[in-house]
Structure 1
Amino acid sequence: MDSNAIPATAWLDPTRPSLFHPITSLIERLDWRQLFLTPQPVEVELGSGDGSFLAQYARLHPERNFLGVERLLGRARKLERKALRAGLTNLRIIRLEASYLTEYLLPHHSVEVFHIYFPDPWPKKKHHKNRLVNERFVQLLGRVLTPGGWVHLRTDDQGYFSWMQDAFAAHPAFLSRTPPPELLALKTDFELEFNQKGIPTLALSYQWQGDKAC
């Protein structure tokens, strides 16, 4: 193990370091140097849930830094426990609403990959305005991504799947891509439950072309 790695049993120690990054300002953008020990490409998962995907993926890619964004404390703590057990030093957690963080706190042109897996589909038409992914949100992603950056999405809801496609189609700077097999092989806990019930995963990937206005 790397000499800087957190011991796998650190989660049992009440004095252990926290993986939660404190938000000290709601208007100043994050400085990645304050979050991560090593300067590396950054990937962000919006709505990390209990971290079943992100903890696995961060362990497989120590050459990259990962930020998990989760509003619910119980779920965020589950992600933290998994990351500490694995001794991960390349993962941090922020408790905040995903769209606010994307619009106001993530530095522009600094994130290489966004992961957005199984966001609330808000299936009733009157609630569609609450969906995370919409045309305006896609525009915000374009501001934060590095040139050539990626957005990977999954849902179990066919209506939301079509909605996402329409939202990205409104921004020609995003090109549709085939989701990488490595990512599809890493299932979230929600996804496993859906698949066991015979509900398929609907996956999308897009790449931002930085030479075009979004």
Structure 2
Amino acid sequence: MIFSDDDDAPLALDLAPDWTARFGPLAGRLELEIGCGHGGFALAFARAHADRALVAIEQRRAFARDVAAKAERRGHGNLVVIQGDGRILAPRLFRAGSLAAIHVHFPDPWWKRRHGRRRLVDDRMSSLLLGLLAPGGLLDFRTDVERYAREAVVRLEAAGFANECGPGAFAERPPDELPSTREKRYLETGQPVWRLRLRRPA
């Protein structure tokens, strides 16, 4: 299933969707991935966690359609793919406190000043992510850019997130971590990945 936030596609929401109607009991363990890319994480998640539901948002239409088609072929009824801008769609799609986890993997750092508005982890988005999570909910953030990681941890902690590893600290790779398509390449080459595991305080 794929929706779009483009003018010619069927996503015009005044209220968040009824995810219980879509996922049934799985909606009680609803998670979000912002920027699913080629779908390495989203598809692996759907296969490994049949007891959870995942909504994956991807801005690039071709990537979103490809991931949605793969999910349909593989029978992953616990995965919905939505094409659009996660910064715009997330507050429209989910009620405050409704998400068990949010996954943000390798967002573009957008260093240039004129591109700052495109950056995912800014003060406004940090507060939004915190508000969408249920108490105790997890923000799983990964990047290959050290400077971005160090700026993100300061911003996210200032927004109210509690760092599982202690203030300003980065996480080791959990043994059961599902890598994204991009991360698989880094694991093969040994390129460092900066991980944050942050919680909305209970």
Is the shorter-chain TM-score for this pair beyond 0.5, marking a shared fold?
A: yes
Counterpart-to-counterpart distance in 1, 2:118 and 2:150: 16
Is 1:99 aligned to residue 92 of structure 2?
Answer: no
| Residues 126, 159 of structure 1: alpha-carbon distance in 2 compared, 3 angstrom cutoff | farther
Cα pair 2:97 2:131 within 8 Å, conserved: yes
Tell me, which stretches of 5 or more residues in structure 1 are unaligned?
1-18
* 1:205 counterpart residue number: 197
| Residues 137, 190 of structure 1: alpha-carbon distance in 2 compared, 3 angstrom cutoff | same
Cα pair 2:31 2:54 within 8 Å, conserved: yes
Among 69, 72, 87, the alignment partner of 2:57 is: 69
Cα pair 1:37 1:89 within 8 Å, conserved: no
Is 1:109 aligned to residue 97 of structure 2?
Answer: yes
Counterpart-to-counterpart distance in 1, 2:58 and 2:116: 21
Among 23, 31, 38, the alignment partner of 1:36 is: 23
Counterpart-to-counterpart distance in 1, 2:51 and 2:74: 15
The alignment of Structure 1 onto Structure 2 pairs a total of residues equal to 190
* 1:140 counterpart residue number: 128
Cα pair 1:123 1:160 within 8 Å, conserved: no
* 1:10 counterpart residue number: none
String of CA shifts for 1:80-127, please: whole Å, max 9, x gaps: 233223221111111120011123332111111000001111133553
Counterpart-to-counterpart distance in 2, 1:42 and 1:160: 27
Among 181, 188, 191, the alignment partner of 2:183 is: 191
Cα RMSD over matched residues?
A: 2.1
Structure 1 window deviating more from structure 2 (103-112 vs 132-141): it is 103-112
Counterpart-to-counterpart distance in 2, 1:57 and 1:202: 20
Which letter does structure 1 place at the counterpart of 2:43?
A: A
Q: Secondary structure of the residue that 2:15 maps to in structure 1?
A: coil
Cα pair 2:3 2:11 within 8 Å, conserved: no
Cα pair 1:158 1:202 within 8 Å, conserved: yes
Aligned identity (percent) is 30
Counterpart-to-counterpart distance in 2, 1:99 and 1:34: 24
Cα pair 2:26 2:78 within 8 Å, conserved: no
Cα pair 2:35 2:57 within 8 Å, conserved: yes
| Residues 124, 82 of structure 1: alpha-carbon distance in 2 compared, 3 angstrom cutoff | same
Tell me, which stretches of 5 or more residues in structure 2 are unaligned?
5-9, 166-170
* 2:11 counterpart residue number: 24
* 1:3 counterpart residue number: none
TM-score, normalised relative to structure 2: 0.84
String of CA shifts for 1:12-61, please: whole Å, max 9, x gaps: xxxxxxx1146532432222134324443101000011111111111111
Counterpart-to-counterpart distance in 2, 1:39 and 1:192: 28
Is 1:84 aligned to residue 72 of structure 2?
Answer: yes
Q: Secondary structure of the residue that 2:39 maps to in structure 1?
A: coil
Counterpart-to-counterpart distance in 1, 2:93 and 2:149: 27
Counterpart-to-counterpart distance in 2, 1:50 and 1:199: 20
More helix by share: 2
Counterpart-to-counterpart distance in 2, 1:84 and 1:30: 20
* 2:7 counterpart residue number: none
Counterpart-to-counterpart distance in 1, 2:174 and 2:186: 19
Cα pair 1:35 1:92 within 8 Å, conserved: no
* 2:40 counterpart residue number: 52
Who wins on radius of gyration, i.e. which is larger? 1
Which letter does structure 2 place at the counterpart of 1:71?
A: Q
